[in-house]
Amino acid sequence: RFLQTGEFRRVGGNKNLRADVRVISATNKDLRKEVAAGGFREDLLYRINVITLHLPPLKDRKEDIPLLVEYFLKNKLRTREPRTIDTKAMDVLMAYHWPGNVRELENVVERAAILAQGSVIKQDDLALPIGMHPLEHKKDSLLGSAVPFREVEKVHMKGVLDSVHWNKNLAANILGISLKTLYTKIQQYNLTKE
């Protein structure tokens, strides 16, 4: 009702109040498909669908990453001293595929700013899923000897799962495999959450 008339009533109140506001909503779903499937009300879609902006995922607009990082560091952090980011750390952020889009970038930047030892965020301060280079931390032990592929795959999967706190949907996405395949591999390699 509010979207149509601009009127609302406070909880427990008996008087209608008016508000002159704009409603901005966002979704990562195709609302027309959701309406067709019965997952979204058609009348609500028509009320909110005045102007539609299609924003591509962050992986398709990497040029926005430095600006977003700067914005998060200047405006969103609750740290006492200002933070900057060095070139190598920015290169890592630019190379990552960002399945969680801007929210994931914001969380990574905030975490790095909190954990950074100084005022400059370095590559080591970034807590990205190991899916980018999952074996990097074990490369000396794995690359110097002949290691069966199964062992490399096991270490890789464990690293990705740990880096995303065992969010299996996200891990499967990072690994480029189906959720069913991930469950099969977890069982096959006896992987467990630590």
In a 13 Å sphere around the CA of 132, the CA atoms on its Cβ side amount to 14
Q: With respect to CATH, is domain 131-188 assigned 1.10.10.60?
A: yes
| Residue with more model confidence, 109 or 138 | 109
Is the model's pLDDT at 59 over the cut of 60? yes
pLDDT band at 66 (very low <50, low <70, confident <90, very high): very high
Mean pLDDT of 68-90: 83
Q: Which CATH number fits domain 58-128: 1.10.10.10, 1.10.3720.10, 3.40.930.10, 1.10.8.60?
A: 1.10.8.60
Q: 33: which 2 tokens?
A: 């498909």
pLDDT per residue over 27-48, tens digit each? 888 899 999 999 999 999 988 8
For residue 188, what pLDDT is reported? 92
Alpha-carbon gap, residue 145 to 93, rounded angstroms: 31
The predicted model scores a pTM of: 0.55
Residue 59, C-beta contacts closer than 8 angstroms, at least 6 positions apart: 97, 98, 99
Q: Where are the domains of the chain?
A: 2-48, 58-128, 131-188
Q: Would you say the CATH fold of 131-188 matches that of 58-128?
A: no
pLDDT per residue over 92-133, tens digit each? 899 888 888 899 999 889 888 877 888 899 888 887 765 454
Alpha-carbon gap, residue 96 to 65, rounded angstroms: 10
pLDDT per residue over 147-181, tens digit each? 566 777 888 788 888 877 888 988 887 777 889 99
